[in-house]
A and B are shown apart, each in its own frame.
Chain A
């Protein structure tokens, strides 16, 4: 039987724990251990648990998919935490060398434009989930169940950034399914390890250290559109005139869209921040915050444990 190591290979979305690339736990027999002083997300862990007993075993069958399966994604679609299961060599506890199992060197993958991009190792990217001494930085929290689909956020965004009303210039868009009645605001999630930053071939994208938002350096951007294709949430669009990417900049910490959201579908804060949830909950407190979030949306989605 192998001993196993479960390693956080990459955080493509925003993990609130936060989990960071390189975090791991180990399994010897049935004993699970986490390095001293560290932690491991239970939700992420539960997603790999069913695989662990079989990954502990040697399988000689060529057509079995288990030996070729190493990665599992955390079920939180906003988090997109990718876990790698490593089988350990009993002598030095180094990972057994198996093709495709390792992700520690530069990963080559074809870019949508046909060029091959060489990405930087994930661990080097600063992530807003790490935040500062007060914890993770606030970010856009979207509860699409509360969204009325009015698209006021699009107007607020284009008005703040461009001084005109133009949904085509907005950094946030509401994806609508009229038949099914669904409305989903699509906006930058402030990914932990942002793929847009990773794939930018000219280093035009960088984090604003104060807000964690991705900033576009118009002077460096070569308008290739790779960031648009790389965004796992489809949250980046291209300015129809300047061809620069339109990426949410969190309005320097005071998002205009949140200010005009009448339902509470958009919030700017930290998931699980109960003080904030209470402040936007139903009743008197709700009316105190900007006077408009009258739905108990925040409280409702916090109770569900997951903010989408």
Chain B
């Protein structure tokens, strides 16, 4: 093989200008790679430098980026992921989404760490990336096809089932603002509207086929470190449950804690939970376990419905967010209906979290008398109505009737509807919140409030608060109550720590299930394995600082758009309305956000009143930027 392949990193960045129909290949800047590691780090740096506040999310100047990490393509378990980033059309701020599956490694084998796309193609195209570079191919014939049809059509016209494809579905084409980029049929980078950005560039899909390889600098050390991670994974007490149920086990678990998003967060327990739980799915429709590329935890599942109105429905998944979203959140206790709704989202290319929020939002407005059935195109807005759920998904995708109101997310929908509906819109910074009730998990609540892409749990995932391990909490976070989910204490330091772990996972492109939730690969081991992969020296401190740098850079990006402490908030329901008495062990709880924010900003070295990084914090991290809320900062970040 030729010498251009580096170790760990592929060493090349692909730049595509769709307007000009041109592409160039540039070497990956080693200095940048060291400071931002990979994946999300690489993307956020470009976002900061090139997508300035004047760039509208749906304009040709917005950059759509795909990036992998230095471990992707190796057999480090779960190192298969890819970050898709751009300025978000849904939230207007930082947009970023992460997906598993098989696309990331294929991009590495084609020899690219990152792909940066700008411009708008004059006619619909799809991008085909090979070892030689980018090829733009016509996509008029694919326009209007759903995600599944598009992937099949591209694989068959390229004559290669090994081609990995990321698709923007019909929802993205129609301008639904929470449309994702979908890989491997059911493995989307779903959040913040990255599919919408892709379609706005007249680009239907990105396909990649790599024939190359990923080398590591020290094969023996690398193998031994992977062996250590393997052993830790197989010995993990949750291994069997994860293998059997994946994230769907959370439906039942969160119901048990009294903080499962139920009836649009009106309560934390769902009476029909046993009919829609992950356990139920495993006992009824599950066919077999599935895994992402190179992963030793087959936590995904393939299911098939054999009888009833949805007979023949078969797909990979679902994950917790989809399953709870279309069951407890919308008040539906028919598992098959939930699976069909998720399947529709996968085929139309929509984010299940935002879509399920949109539907449960309208249902609650119906219940509160703010929206009548007539205004909702004659649909029966009562909780759990199967016909309504499926019809609304169809309408959102096509942007017709009430669906057009919802297609911009609930923040916009509430603006359009008015009548006080804002207080029912469960979003933070314009991004719809997930399927756990923040009132029952305060660390998560803080994480969701401060997350750089809006109401999102995957920027921090502070699962440790569920352990109740006070001793460990004192040792790690200096506060025993950090391990108590209903206490606001210690959560600032907890969230800081886990935000950086999530940043590490997104930069190395390792699954958060392993790296964050199972605590595989602590910083010292991560430094060793990065060194073994790349041949560069990495220290534990340097790695942790890189993660902290990324979190700060993202905060600076949003600060430049005018965001600050006032935006680190939660819907009033979570901070003012206690969980009702039927919410089991979480009953009576509200989120004490301000107190946690203070502790968080303090831990971060951010200003308590503005919520923005202090100058000394930025210089400590080597970020030579100054942040004035609302004012566009000149120059780049590196």
Q: Which residues from chain A sit less than 8 Å from chain B, CB to CB?
A: 145-146, 148-152, 155-156, 158-159, 162-169, 175-176, 178-181, 183, 240-241, 260, 262-263, 287, 291-292, 294-295
Contact = CB atoms under 8 A, between A and B. Distances in A.
14 contacts: A148-B289, A150-B294, A155-B294, A164-B214, A165-B214, A168-B210, A168-B213, A175-B161, A181-B290, A181-B316, A262-B296, A291-B234, A294-B239, A294-B243
Contacts of B211: 168, 240
B109 A150 contact: no
B293 A150 contact: yes
Contacts of B298: 148, 150, 262-263
B213 A152 contact: no
A148 B288 contact: yes
Contacts of B148: 179
Cβ-closest 3 pairs across A and B: A166-B213, A148-B298, A181-B302
Given A148-B298, A155-B294, A260 B215 contact: no
B288 A165 contact: no
A300 to B, nearest CB: 11
Given A148-B289, A150-B292, A179 B152 contact: yes
Given A150-B296, A166-B212, A294-B240, A178 B75 contact: no
Contact of B219 (A150, A155, A159, A178): A159
A165 B75 contact: yes
A175 B219 CA distance: 27
B289 A178 contact: no
Interface string B315-356: 110000000000000000000000000000000000000000
B384 interface: no
Contact of A291 (B231, B294, B316): B231
B154 interface: no
Tell me if B's interface is mostly helix, strand, loop or mixed: mixed
Contacts of B161: 175-176
Contacts of A158: 213
B314 interface: yes
Interface of B: 1, 73-75, 102, 109, 148, 151-152, 161, 184-185, 210-216, 219, 223, 230-231, 234-235, 239-240, 243, 287-298, 300, 302, 304, 314-316
Given A152-B296, A159-B219, A294-B240, A241 B1 contact: yes
A21 B636 CA distance: 74
Contacts of B287: 181
Contacts of B243: 294
B234 A178 contact: no
A294 B287 CA distance: 17
Contacts of A241: 1
B314 A149 contact: no
B185 A292 contact: no
Contact of A181 (B109, B215, B304): B304
Contacts of A164: 1, 213-216
A203 B234 CA distance: 45
A177 to B, nearest CB: 8
A143 to B, nearest CB: 11
Contacts of B212: 166, 168
Given A158-B213, A166-B213, A168-B211, A148 B290 contact: yes
A175 B161 CA distance: 9
A183 B293 CA distance: 12
Contacts of B230: 292
B1, B75, B230, B304: residue with the most chain A Cβ atoms closer than 10 Å: B75
Nearest to B210: A168
B109 A168 contact: yes
Contacts of A178: 151, 184-185, 316
Contacts of A166: 109, 212-214
Contacts of B288: 145-146, 148, 181
Given A179-B152, A241-B1, A262-B296, A159 B75 contact: yes
A171 to B, nearest CB: 15
A152 B297 contact: no
Contacts of A287: 234
Contacts of A240: 211
Nearest to A290: B234
A260 B295 CA distance: 10
B213 A292 contact: no
Contact of A152 (B73, B152, B295): B295
A168 B239 CA distance: 30
A262 B302 CA distance: 17
Contacts of B184: 178
A163 B213 CA distance: 10
Contacts of A163: 215, 219
Given A176-B161, A181-B302, A291-B231, A165 B296 contact: no
Nearest to B292: A150
Contacts of A181: 287-288, 290, 302, 304, 314-316
A149 B185 CA distance: 14
B29 to A, nearest CB: 23
B61 to A, nearest CB: 35
A263 B302 CA distance: 15
B635 to A, nearest CB: 38
B109 A167 contact: yes
A159 B294 CA distance: 13
A184 B559 CA distance: 50
Given A148-B298, A159-B219, A295-B289, 6 more contacts: A152-B296, A179-B148, A179-B314, A262-B296, A291-B235, A292-B234
A262 B488 CA distance: 40
Nearest to B74: A165
Nearest to B222: A159
A262 B514 CA distance: 15
Given A152-B294, A164-B213, A262-B298, A159 B223 contact: yes
Contacts of B289: 148, 263, 295
Given A178-B185, A179-B185, A262 B214 contact: no
B234 A180 contact: no
Contacts of B300: 148
